[in-house]
Chains A and B, each alone.
Chain A
Amino acid sequence: MHELAICQALIEQLDSIAVQHLKKKIVKVNLKVGPLSGVVPQLLVDAFSIAAKASCAEHAELEITTGDILVFCKHCNIESRGKINQLVCRECGDWQTELVSGDEMLLQRVELEERVELEEIAK
């Protein structure tokens, strides 16, 4: 349900990026949304199409990478894969682990339009 609010914040960021780079349109957006971020990728995709209306990213393709949950165990000195409700060390079963990755909610990369113009500048 909060995916729409997150998309609205994303569109604000995208608008400011487009303005900063003097571009009108963003054609592709890449996000990293970890399983422990509390965000459902499919709901984010649905919300994006609503939030992006009349923005610089209206027809942009939204690509979402989820990634793995990784935890570090201090006793075993190893990283292991966890599940969303199981963040214990896979080796020794200890629960006092540190989360290495899995809770990200990041805007990683955007692709701006006007490649033609860039090629022309290169000439």
Chain B
Amino acid sequence: MCGTCGCNVTEGNKHLLEADGELQADGTLDILKNLLDKNDLTAAHNRQHFDQHQVLAINIMSSPGSGKTALLEATIKHLLSDYRIAVIEGDLETENDAERIRKLGVQAIQIETGTACHLDAHLIHNALHQLNLDELDIVFIENVGNLVCPASFDLGQHFNVTLLSTTEGHDKPEKYPVIFRAADLMLITKQDLLEVLGDFDPDYAINCLRRLANPAPVISVSAKTAKGIDEWSQWVIDKIYIQTELSQINVFKGNLDDGESSKILVG
């Protein structure tokens, strides 16, 4: 991690924080800046840290109780022999979820958001200061259980995974389009309950996702029976290798942006 905080403002991106446009005679000023500009800058900074350390960052979003922590427990058991994992947990209150992860011998940082309904890039930045990224391959970020707010905040992750549990109903992507549109992968969780429930149609859920113009793959999993956990884990492993290659390119590009290009040209 960076040595000092506040490091998201660099010479390279400082201009983005400053207002654009010229003040007109009538007192108006054109800006055209994202409302969450500051969050996005910190998110980009977080992503840069992940890239520099070749760590894959996955943001897991869903409604409360759809099985995010159970999924992580099953995934950790599957991957821990070959990969170094840490988890950042977001909840309004308690360390309960972090403790469940720690029991598996994995470092977990609990962020208690208090009343805030989502994680933001600054909270992740603070949590990253507590992790040694050199000793990690994957950081899972378990966002606050909420199908609305987390979708608006970039954290610096490489991929978003949105969970839809069979107990929630198959039309959730239709009702909460913003968060499902942001998904790079949709996991249908509590797959073992499909037969018992009898009224959850996975194809309907997939169609809803496609109508959002989202080509994301869909995997059905059960943390309880471990069905689908190997397929989902393989998705994660594939992303590690893709990300390692992309990270090297991004870090190289970043170095070029920081003035390394002139050194290369001269040298």
Q: Which residues of B contact A6 (CB under 8 A)?
A: 35-36, 152
Please tell me if the beta carbons of A36 and B29 are within 8 angstroms of each other in the complex: no
What is the size, in residues, of chain A's interface with B at 8 Å between Cβ atoms? 43
Please tell me if the beta carbons of A9 and B36 are within 8 angstroms of each other in the complex: yes
Complex: A88 Cα to B39 Cα, angstroms: 31
Instruction: Tell me which residues from 171 to 186 in chain B have a Cβ below 8 Å from any Cβ of chain A.
Output: 173-175, 177-179, 181
Please tell me if the beta carbons of A98 and B29 are within 8 angstroms of each other in the complex: no
Instruction: Tell me which residues from 69 to 84 in chain A have a Cβ below 8 Å from any Cβ of chain B.
Output: 71, 84
**Is A42's CB within 8 Å of the partner chain B?**
no
Complex: A110 Cα to B29 Cα, angstroms: 5
Q: What 1/0 flags go to B25-38 for Cβ under 8 Å of A? A: 11111111111111
Q: What 1/0 flags go to A15-53 for Cβ under 8 Å of B? A: 011001100000110010000111100000000000000
Please tell me if the beta carbons of B35 and A38 are within 8 angstroms of each other in the complex: no
Q: Determine the residue in chain A with the shortest Cβ distance to B146.
A: A1
Please tell me if the beta carbons of A115 and B152 are within 8 angstroms of each other in the complex: no
Please tell me if the beta carbons of A37 and B178 are within 8 angstroms of each other in the complex: yes
Chain B contact-residue range equals 35 or more
Complex: A118 Cα to B28 Cα, angstroms: 12
Chain A interface: which of B46-54, B112-120, B190-198, B247-255? Answer: B112-120
Q: Which residues of B contact A115 (CB under 8 A)?
A: 26-27
Complex: A108 Cα to B34 Cα, angstroms: 9
Instruction: Tell me which residues from 206 to 254 in chain B have a Cβ below 8 Å from any Cβ of chain A.
Output: 208, 210-213, 215
**Is B19's CB within 8 Å of the partner chain A?**
yes
Please tell me if the beta carbons of A113 and B27 are within 8 angstroms of each other in the complex: yes
**Is B2's CB within 8 Å of the partner chain A?**
no
A1 touching B31 in the complex, CB below 8 Å, given contacts A13-B37, A16-B19, A85-B208: no
Additional 12 contacts, C-beta under 8 A, given A16-B17, A99-B213, A109-B31? A2-B152, A5-B116, A16-B19, A27-B27, A31-B35, A84-B177, A105-B35, A105-B152, A108-B32, A109-B28, A109-B30, A112-B29
Interface residues of B (CB under 8 A from A): 17-19, 23, 25-39, 116-118, 120, 146, 148-149, 151-153, 173-175, 177-179, 181, 208, 210-213, 215
Interface residues of A (CB under 8 A from B): 1-2, 5-6, 9-10, 12-13, 16-17, 20-21, 27-28, 31, 36-39, 71, 84-88, 95-99, 105-115, 118, 122
| Closest 7 A/B residue pairs (Cβ) | A2-B149, A38-B178, A87-B213, A85-B177, A95-B210, A17-B19, A38-B152
